[in-house]
Each structure stands twice: as structure tokens, then as C-alpha cells.
Structure 1
């Protein structure tokens, strides 16, 4: 699509060993960058803000030099977000909305950029208000963080859509470098409008949480993505505008061809009895780099990182292959009585991730 366009990606930090979400957040950010490129953006139209200046979005193992700031690399500050929106102002009035993505830690009415550095919802609203007053451009902002729904009433405005991964009182869950915003980006990549992409991302997030979701609900743990696109700050019967917004216009992109299928048959096990894990993985372009199985036991402990974000810590087993298509391994760590569900994952050389149905 011709015309002016711009997007901002913000990966919240810190990028330290204590931040167990970091690898997932940067993987999702790179996936969003890849989606934008696949939808026809070029690098100069994307402002990538991250505390780590090394990023490999195409899986070739090299730094693609796509991170714009801060330079030299350091932990993020509020001023860095202001600089990103100043860059957006310099692009002038856009022919489609400014797309702004945030992936990282969050709290009620704040985004956690770094240790002791929080961007308040009111501060972000002021920056967006100023940007829109100067340019007259529309904005679509996507926030994937715990308590992100608390931002919606504050950020809501005319010609601005706000999409969040959870309600104000909820945590946002991540697993195997996947989360709600990665699913959203995958649907946008195919050419869906934001309304449909939102619906598919909600479905895929529920699928990721799997059969353990009812257990989370019993303990008051739910994740409910929200959006507002009419400026009232309430998630209700909205969606008329988002049904018209597709990243860079109405054309369809060929879907990512990576696929994985479980070949494991159901069986009864004794404690610590070895069990064969088998899967088939393929892709039309590139190659499958790795395949692994995630086992959902009848019981599990929820891991909370140092910033309070839940990481689903299911047991996993790496599979090996001799022909690049059929993968296998053995697993012998069953200790609880009950049903164990297995999902297989595959990753290709470009960093795409696919999952199978549960076994």
C-alpha cells in the first residue's frame, strides 16, 4: 500500500538474568517486526526501542541491526518513549494509523520499562495526545503486560484504538516464547483486520493455557484480552473501526508453512515408566530447527518471576531427528496420578513457532 506509515515497538526491560520474561518479550517483539516487514513496511518506517541492541528477526544467527534506541544500549527511560513518539511526529500525517506495540512487564496504570522506571498511563496518554494533535494521525496501541486493561480508561480517545492482553486486575501469561501479542501478530501477518486478529489471538491464548485454565479460574487466575476503538474506554460492542484496519492495507499474505503433528498414541503408564514421544514436522521454505514436547501434568506449580509475571513452567522434552521430518524422544518423569496432555512445538530457521493439537 502506498503512502506514509509508521510503527513503534517497545520491549520493556530490564534485560537482566532476574527478568525471566526477557527472552519471551524480545522474541515476540522480533516476531512483530517480522510481521510488519512481511506486510510491506521497510526498516526506516519502524522504530524499535529495546534495552538490548542485538536482534535477529529472520533467524540467521546475525544481528540484523533493527534496534533504533537507546544508543549505546542501556536500560530504558521514559524519555526514550518520548523520543520514539517525536520520531513518529517527524513522519508527518500518516495514511494509516500509527501502530504502537508494547511487550513486557506492567502493573496497574503503569508499564515497567526498567528497574525503578515506570511509565504511568497518564504520561503515555499525554504523549499520544500530543502526537495526534501535531500530526492528525490515528493510533492503534497494543499492550501485552500484566494489568494492561487498567490503561484502557486513561488512554481511550477519539481516533485511537487500545488493545490489551488482560483486564486491569489480571496477570498476562507467557509460555515457550509465546503470548497473546504473538498470536495477534501472526493473524495480522496473514492480512486479517484487527477485530478478527483479536478474536483469533484470544482463542490461541486460551489454547496455550490448555486444560489447566479451569484450575487457574478456580484460583482467581484468568486472562481476558480487551479492546476499545470508539473512545469510551469500555470493552463492550466496539469493533466497527477495527474491522476496517489491516496492517498496510487489504491484501493477503501467504501463511507461514511450518507445521507439527503429534504421532504419540494414548497409553497407561506406571510411575517413571518410559514413554515414547513422536512427532512429524515440516515446512515448505527453510528448515525445521528443533522440535520439543510440552507435557501438561494433572498438577503444576505456577512460576512467578521477580516482577510478578506468571511463566507457565510445564515439563518439556527435546526431540531429535535423523531425516529432518520425523522426530522422537523418550520421557519418564510421570509422578502424579491423572491425565497427562502433550503438545508438540516446532521452530524453523526464521524463528517461526508452530504447535500441534493436544495428545
Structure 2
């Protein structure tokens, strides 16, 4: 056996060298800048340590809300496998009332945590995460009374840490007004930066002021083992649903420019998001519980208007594997805009114009309902209704929205408005190969009947909508190798209950000619095996039933 091994080694080395040269000569996909000889991954990327900071200001404004938010983040990190020794938490209050906090939140302590504590837990093959939550201004974040963290200060601390450790990656999550201003000096190789707001925008607290509007969604998604990119996508949609214009930002292509997600709600955008879509926040791969789900919300509601008091009943269905704590219905008047003072202080997303009620489940069957009353409404007044739930761990659901209108007879008016339709994936002019997912989403002012998907004029998929929200997205796996090379038309059509329709189309290129052979190298039992995998293999199309 030993003799056979000795004879094999030169052959393997020669073959490896040959394949390395062949790799340099082969065509490499435009979306893969790495070498075509790759190690087969044995586990998903993890982090070795996290630093948390809950900031404070001279007047201690919203200190309890900020501390509560970071406490929730701490608990999520613990639930994702991090030990207390792997988390260094700085907060405005230290003592028995805050058992998670290691020390006070000062700039000196943050510098020490990044430059001295973190290198004890992170080496050149590992990653560090940092989450900062406070009131902010342009290029600055409040840390403690009369103590501000400047964007360049943070970059200096991070550079010193990187020089000391040569770490694999830094993940930086910042919740605060104008937090996007931290992207420019801190955008560097091997860093993923997520901020809750654009440079020119304030940031809002959530509806019950226990967390940031962005953070409650982002970290709830992280607790369900979504990637940073997927959690960012959901958090952007979450703040938009609440009515905030804070435009969260992400930068992971290191060009010092952040981007928010497009109206479609998907990354990547502007070159950012590819890296974040592959990275999760956890200490080790774990089994995660799904997010609490709003399963059924009524389609647009019409009630009879009354000169003095208008009343409506809301009934929804909620499901959770971890228990349901609270379910809210939030009523936002048509045309409402948030009051963002842009003074550096995070603001309350709810103001006097917004009414919010807690829904009850008296039968304990997941059906939550409640009555809401409005005084002094005009005939035809309407509201957007956000349904939001929290589980027993204070983690938030995705928001599902409907509408409520008061008119003379409580009936839906004649439907003369065509439905909306958008193709979420792929993007127009994309070059596609192998199996690609096509995603389309539709909506209607009253009731959507179905979505149809066509490729080059031929129907390939149809999806009938339920008679409640949320409407599902139409998803279709397209085997591009079954089509001719070149340009193809993808069309999505939405049809509502009144028979009105709308459509949208994109042109994409199917390109299966320039597929390269990818060589994977794996180490097994001390030996080396070279696995040759051609991405140009034609897969047989699975039969799909039209629904």
C-alpha cells in the first residue's frame, strides 16, 4: 500500500499542475473572480467574537430603548451559538440591572475592545462582528455623555486590529441617524458594512419603541439563520412598510459607496450584496427556528362611514414555533409622512396621527382580532394597515399590510385600476446559464386573481392567488440549456378578479457556451482527490404542475 501511495503522489501533483494551467486558459464566468481550483467547503463561515455598544447622550434621551435593543441583539447572538466570553458588551448602565453588560460605553473602552480584547478571540482565519446602536450625526455616533465616536476613529481601531490579527473578515452593523456616513472611511477589503440609515437620513425606532425599526427586522431574521444580505433585504422592506424614509445602506464590494435595495427588495444592487448574501451571523452552524409568520390578513377592507365614529374589525391569523407574545394592527392615514427632525436623535415612527391596537386571541387558536374606532373622519378616508407580531423572544415578524377605507355603503367600488406586476429576478440584460430562478410579484387595489409567466410568448408557469394576504411570489426554475443561445423575452402578467391585466417584460441572454470546467480539490484521509465538474451538463427539466 505504501508503494502504491508513493507512485500516486507524483501523478496527482502532475495532474494538479496541469489542471492549474488549464484553469488559467479556460473561460471563467463573469460572476466568479476566484480561481477555478477551489477547496470543497467543510462548513459555513462563522465569527469568533462580537463587540456590542449601546450609546448614550448628555440628556440620556431614549437610553432605555437603545439598551433594550442591544439586549435583544445580545440574546440573539447567544441563541446563535456565541458564549458570553465571545461577546464584549458596552452599555450606558453597568450593574445587576444589566447583567449582559461588561463595561461602560466609552470611546476608550471601544478602542480597547477592538484593539486588545478582540485579538484574544480572533486570528487570521477567523472573523469579528461589531454592532453599534446610538443616536448619530454626520460622521459621528454618540457613545457616552460628551463622548462621540467619529467615523475615522472607528476605521483607525479596525485597521490596528487587522494589522495585529490579519483577520479573515469584519462585519460592522450600525443603527443610528446618518449612520450611512460611516461607510466611506470604513469601506475596506474583507469588510461587510450595514447601516440602518442613509448619510442624509434619520433613523426611526420601531412601533413600540423597544428597538430600532431596522434592527428589529434585521436581527429577527438573523435569529432565523438568514444571511446578512437576506436579513438586510427584509429589514429595508420592513422600514418602508412602517413609512420610514431612512434608506438603510449596505457596502460589501469595498468601493466606499453604500446602496439600499431596489424597489424589488432584492440584492445585489450597485455591486453590493453578493458577499453578504453568503454570510450568516453565527458561532457555528445551528438549527434555527423560522420567523414568526403572519399567515392570513384580509384583502382591502371597506366599512360604512359614520359622521361621528367609524368602526372596523380586524382579524388575522398568526403562526409561530416559539410562541406568540403580541400582535398589533397599526393604522397609517393615507398621505401620512413621518416626522423626521434630522437632528441626530432617532425618532418615534408613530405620531399622533397613527393609531395602533393590540389584537387578541381569546380562543387561543392563532386567530387574532380587535375593533378600532376613529372619530371625525371624512367620507372616503382610508388607512394603510400594518400587521406586526412578536414572539416570546421579542423577535418580530415581517410586516403584512392591507388597507381600510370608509365609504357610504361599506362595499368595494367598481374596480377600474389594473393590477401591478414586477419581475424581481433576474435583471434585464442579464447573461444567464444553467438553472436560473425567475421570480415575479403582483398586487391589486382590490383582489388579484393570478400571475402568469411566459418565455418567448409561451406560458411556462401560472399561480392562482389566495383570497387573503400575503400574496405569494411566482417562482419558476428555468433550465436555460433547453433554449437556444441568445436573447429571450420573459414576460409576467397579472390578472385581477375584475379581469383587468397588466404585464411587464425583460430581455435576457441565455449563454451556455462559455461554461468552463471547474476543478475542485479535496483532502481525504491525508490524500488528495481531484474532482472534475462540468457546469455545462444539461439537466432534465422537472415537470411542474400549473396551479
TM-score, L = length of structure 1 = 0.80
Structure 2 CA distance for partners of 1:280 and 1:165, relative to 1, 3 Å: same
Q: Residue 197 of structure 1 aligns with which residue? A: 231
SS at match of 1:168: coil
Alignment correspondent of 1:19: 61
**Structure whose CA Rg is larger:** 2
1:232 to 2:255 alignment: yes
Contact 2:47 2:127 in 1 (8 A): no
Q: CA deviation at 1:331?
A: 2.5
| 1:82 matched residue in structure 2 | 111
Query: Greater share of strand residues, 1 or 2?
Result: 2
Match of 2:328 among 292, 295, 316: 292
Deviates more, 1:103-112 or 1:330-339: 330-339
Shift of 1:269: 2.4
Residue 35 of structure 1 deviates from its aligned partner by 2.8
1:66-116 Cα offsets, whole Å, 9 max, x none, are 22222xxxxx32112123222212214164421111122111000012342
Candidates 266, 291, 308, aligned match of 2:302? 266
Counterpart of 1:7?
50
Partner deviation per Cα, 1:200-250 (whole Å, 9 max, x = no partner) = 3222222222xxx6xxxxxxxx32222222333123313343343222366
Q: Which one of the candidate residues 293, 309, 312 is aligned to 2:346?
A: 309
Q: Distance in 2 between matches of 1:182 and 1:245?
A: 19
**Aligned match for 1:107, one of 118, 129, 137:** 137
Total equivalences in the alignment: 334
Match of 1:186 among 193, 215, 220: 220
Q: Distance in 1 between matches of 2:361 and 2:46?
A: 47
**1:66 to 2:109 alignment:** no
C-alpha separation between the residues in 2 aligned to 1:12 and 1:205? Answer: 22
CA 299–346 in structure 1, closer or farther in 2 if over 3 Å, else same: same
Q: Unaligned regions of 5+ residues in structure 2, if any?
A: 1-42, 259-269, 404-547
Shift of 1:260: 6.4
TM normalised by structure 2 equals 0.55
**Correspondent of 2:290 among 243, 255, 261:** 255
Conserved in 2, the CA contact under 8 Å of 1:12 and 1:105? yes
Give the alignment partner of residue 174 of structure 2, picking from 139, 143, 155: 143
1:296, CA displacement in angstroms? 0.5
> Aligned-residue CA RMSD in angstroms?
3.1
**Preserved CA contact (<8 Å) 1:277 1:293:** no
Contact persistence 1:188–1:247 (CA under 8 A): yes
More helix by share: 1
